[in-house]
């Protein structure tokens, strides 16, 4: 191993009911679904999700079972550290 970081994951600090640490998209989508975003935050969230959806395929649209805990327990998504065009949008 080269000792360099190849992937990074933005996630919650606590495990969810399935025992995993919810990722950035799940956290933001949950806040939006629960109505916990301000109008400005909601616009940002919607625009960001639309951009990511247009730029990259949601893995669960290709394989609906990809995050199914019975099929793929513990499955989570990561960013490549070289994908700066994706990571630059994450802090928002």
> How much is the pLDDT for 69?
87
Tens of pLDDT along 26-38? 999 999 999 999 9
Which residues neighbour 56 within 8 Å (Cβ) at sequence distance 6 or greater? 86
> How much is the pLDDT for 17?
87
- Residue 21, classed as helix, strand or coil, is strand
> How much is the pLDDT for 91?
83
> How much is the pLDDT for 81?
93
> How much is the pLDDT for 43?
97
> How much is the pLDDT for 89?
87
According to DSSP, residue 78 is labeled: -
Low-confidence ranges of the chain (pLDDT < 50): 1
């Amino acid at each position: 191993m080269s000792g360099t970081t190849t992937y990074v994951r933005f996630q919650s600090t606590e495990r969810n009911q399935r025992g995993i640490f919810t990722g950035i998209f799940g956290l933001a989508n949950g806040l939006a679904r629960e109505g916990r975003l301000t109008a400005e935050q909601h616009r940002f969230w919607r625009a960001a999700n639309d951009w990511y959806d247009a730029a990259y395929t949601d893995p669960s649209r290709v394989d609906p079972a990809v995050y199914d805990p019975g099929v793929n327990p513990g499955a989570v998504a990561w960013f490549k550290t070289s994908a700066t065009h994706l990571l630059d949008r994450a802090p928002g």
